[in-house]
């Protein structure tokens, strides 16, 4: 069954295609009566304009592309949620592409997207990406780009990220405030800016209280979770004076949780742990971890809004501006389990 098109509507109504088109767009230069007639028939026949013909003609797809490393990371799932919300409100569609942190794939996706399939791109850089000429080429292709979460400073465009530095500082300051003297920092090993910024926040919070930085307390994690637990365990054994842990990423927070368990160190009595986490379930741990939750939904929505604003205004290219949202320090506790909060 072929879908109905303007031509059919026009013939049926004894009007020209142009008039029908205008009526459907509620143009001011068509009589109310004809508009009504047209709309009635369109509704009756379930007319739906062909998106591609329209896109071809107007040279705009009403679609944005979202390129992320993975969707199974809860942060990105939440971000997509925010993106979809903003897109829908503006009548835009959302194409999803997963890089799986593979550079080659990221390049291929970007190249493909230059075929006009999208009006703009939201991207969180793959961790394996070094060379960024593929991203730079988007500028000359006239496709607006907005980074979120994992950004590349070299590209002059809008970037929306968690306030990593401030989060690291707050988490550490919090641990100091509740009496910790030796605070370890578990960080991700790669060179992503988020790790560095969080670490700087950690260092500055310590310095602000007159604590000298101790490199021995800083543990770079690996991609192997089991190995991480071992490393953390070793650290805790080597340094029994550690009474606070700040974990830069979720899986390290969980690793710290287990390492403490295995060593019989109680949380929060013996060791207080604060970690980044976006997973609800982590709050159900017993004892619960004190977590820093990234405003993932807001980040996604904000990034999408910035992008859409540029797209709508017919590509007035995006100014180099970095938008940073504060993250919230949340003392998560299971609502059901009667334990004292670690805070």
Among 69, 194, 67, residue whose Cα is nearest residue 126: 69
Token output for 130: 């070094």
Near DNA by CB under 7 A: residue from 40, 45, 56, 208: 56
Which of 142, 240 has the CB closer to DNA? 142
Among 249, 256, 291, 259, residue whose Cα is nearest residue 274: 291
Near DNA by CB under 7 A: residue from 54, 181, 190, 322: 54
Token output for 53: 């013909």
CA distance 39 to 262: 70
Residue 238 interacts with which of DNA, a copy of itself, none, CB < 5 to 8 Å by class? none
Positive or negative, the CA dihedral 70, 74, 75, 78 is positive
Q: Is 242 exposed, middle or buried (0-12, 13-18, 19+ CB in 10 A)?
A: buried
Which of 116, 128 has the CB closer to DNA? 116
Q: Taking CB under 7 A as the rule, does residue 112 contact DNA?
A: no
CB of 136 to DNA, least distance (A): 22
Per-residue binding string, DNA, 58-87, x by CB under 7 A, is xx----------------------------
CA distance 261 to 286: 11
Cross-strand pairs, 97: 67
Binding site for a copy of itself (CB under 8 A): 1-3, 46, 48-53, 55-56, 61, 63, 70-72, 74, 77-78, 80-81, 84, 93-98, 111-112, 114-117, 137, 140-142, 225-226, 229-230, 250, 254-255, 257-259, 261-262, 279, 281-282, 284-286, 334-338
Reading across the β-sheet that carries 218-220, which strands appear in turn?
218-220, 183-187, 244-247, 272-276, 290-293, 328-330
Residue 31 interacts with which of a copy of itself, DNA, none, CB < 5 to 8 Å by class? DNA
Which of 19, 197 has the CB closer to DNA? 19
Which of 206, 318 has the CB closer to a copy of itself? 318
Residue 141 interacts with which of DNA, a copy of itself, none, CB < 5 to 8 Å by class? a copy of itself
Please, what is the end-to-end C-alpha distance for the chain in angstroms?
Answer: 64
Residues within window 16-45 making contact with DNA, judged by CB under 7 A: 16-19, 21-22, 24-25, 28-34
Q: Annotate 182-204 with b (16+ C-beta within 10 A) or e (fewer).
A: bbbbbbbeeebbbbbbbbebbbe
Which of 133, 191 has the CB closer to a copy of itself? 133
Residue 338 interacts with which of DNA, a copy of itself, none, CB < 5 to 8 Å by class? a copy of itself
CB of 27 to a copy of itself, least distance (A): 20
Stretch that binds DNA, among 48-56, 144-152, 203-211, 271-279 (CB under 7 A): 48-56
Residue 200 interacts with which of a copy of itself, DNA, none, CB < 5 to 8 Å by class? none
CA distance 13 to 298: 47
Q: Annotate 148-171 with b (16+ C-beta within 10 A) or e (fewer).
A: bbbbeeebebbbbbbbbbbbbbbb
Which of 85, 166 has the CB closer to a copy of itself? 85
Q: What is the DSSP string of 107-125?
A: HHHHHHHTTTT-SEEEE--
Let me know: does 292 contact 329? Beta carbons within 8 Å.
yes
Residue 212 interacts with which of a copy of itself, DNA, none, CB < 5 to 8 Å by class? none
Name residue, tokens 């805790």. 236
Contact residues for DNA, defined by CB under 7 A: 2, 5-7, 14-19, 21-22, 24-25, 28-34, 49-50, 53-54, 56-59
């Amino acid at each position: 069954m072929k879908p109905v098109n303007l031509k059919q509507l026009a013939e049926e109504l004894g009007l020209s295609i142009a008039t029908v088109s205008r009526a459907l767009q509620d143009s001011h230069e068509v009589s109310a009566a004809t508009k009504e007639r047209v709309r009635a028939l369109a509704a009756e026949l379930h007319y739906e304009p062909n998106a591609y013909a329209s896109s071809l003609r107007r040279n705009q797809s009403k679609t944005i592309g979202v390129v992320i490393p993975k969707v199974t990371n809860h942060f990105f799932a939440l971000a997509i949620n925010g993106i979809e919300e903003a897109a829908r409100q503006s009548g835009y569609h959302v194409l999803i592409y997963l890089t799986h942190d593979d550079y080659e794939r990221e390049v291929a996706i970007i190249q493909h997207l230059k075929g006009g399939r999208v009006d703009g791109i939201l991207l969180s850089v793959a961790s394996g990406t070094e060379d960024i000429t593929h991203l730079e080429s988007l500028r000359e292709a006239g496709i607006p780009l907005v980074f979120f979460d994992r950004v590349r400073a070299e590209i002059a465009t809008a970037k929306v990220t968690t306030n990593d530095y401030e989060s690291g500082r707050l988490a550490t300051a919090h641990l100091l405030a509740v009496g910790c003297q030796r605070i370890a920092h578990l960080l991700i090993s790669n060179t992503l800016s988020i790790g560095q910024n969080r670490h700087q926040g950690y260092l500055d919070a310590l310095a602000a209280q007159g604590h000298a930085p101790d490199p021995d307390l800083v543990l770079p994690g690996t991609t192997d979770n089991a190995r991480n637990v071992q490393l953390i365990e070793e650290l805790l054994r080597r340094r029994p004076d550690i009474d606070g842990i700040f974990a830069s990423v979720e899986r390290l927070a969980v690793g710290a949780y287990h390492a403490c368990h295995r060593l019989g160190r109680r949380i929060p009595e013996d060791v207080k742990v604060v970690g980044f986490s976006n997973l609800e379930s982590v709050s159900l741990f017993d004892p619960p971890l004190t977590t820093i939750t990234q405003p993932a939904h807001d980040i996604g929505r904000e990034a999408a809004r910035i992008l859409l604003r540029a797209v709508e205004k017919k590509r007035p290219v995006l100014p180099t501006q970095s938008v940073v949202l504060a993250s919230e320090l949340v003392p998560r506790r299971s609502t059901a389990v009667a334990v004292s909060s670690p805070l």
